[in-house]
């Protein structure tokens, strides 16, 4: 049973890493979509 648990942990870890990579790519695209001038000025932040 312990071997099954170990394999399931490694699989979920791999899935988590893949999701994290996708999330980072989406965040990078959002940052790239913002004009460079808005990145420096805090008042330009919609939040």
Question: What are the extents of the domains in the chain?
Answer: 21-47
> Of the candidates 40, 12, 13, 39, which has an alpha carbon nearest to the alpha carbon of residue 28?
39
Cβ(37)–Cβ(44) below 8 Å: yes
- pLDDT of 16 reads 75
pTM of the prediction?
0.34
pLDDT at 36: 62
For residue 20, the model assigns a pLDDT of 83
Contact in structure between 21 and 27 (CB atoms under 8 Å): no
Condensed to tens digits (0 to 9), the pLDDT of residues 1-47 reads 445 554 445 566 677 788 888 778 877 777 776 666 665 555 555 55
Distance (Å) of CA 18 to CA 9, 14, 29:
14, 6, 17
């Amino acid at each position: 049973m312990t071997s099954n648990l170990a394999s399931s942990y490694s699989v979920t870890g791999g899935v988590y890493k893949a999701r994290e990579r996708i999330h980072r790519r989406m965040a990078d695209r959002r940052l790239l979509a913002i004009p460079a001038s808005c990145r420096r000025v805090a008042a330009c932040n919609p939040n």
